[in-house]
Amino acid sequence: MPDFYSTREIADLFRLPIWRIQRLYSTGQIPEPPRFAGKRAIPAADIPLLVEQLRDRGLVLQSQPEAVP
């Protein structure tokens, strides 16, 4: 399992459009992660927080397990 994911990789994990993940950061719902080469480097440890935010919005089912490769 990688230590960091790009926004695209997170979107692919949850089978969501990339803008859904970007919106969590742009609206301030989740603190901005560090960037590498201009792209978000989302720590693997932040995935549970992303799942929580996506569930709150009805984008990930309550019974759906966390998508971690």
Locate 31 and state its tokens.
Answer: 């603190």
Residues whose CB is less than 8 angstroms from the CB of residue 30 and which lie 6 or more positions away in sequence, other chains included: 24, 46, 49, 50, 53
pTM for this model (two decimals):
0.81
Q: Which of 4, 1, 47 is nearest to 24 (CA)?
A: 47
Locate 9 and state its tokens.
Answer: 């990789």
Q: What is the spatial distance between Cα 11 and Cα 20, in angstroms, rounded to a whole number?
A: 8
List the chain residues with pLDDT less than 70.
61-69
pLDDT tens per residue, range 9-25: 999 999 999 999 999 99
Do 64 and 29 touch, CB atoms closer than 8 A?
no
Q: Which domains does the chain have, with CATH numbers?
A: 4-56 (1.10.1660)
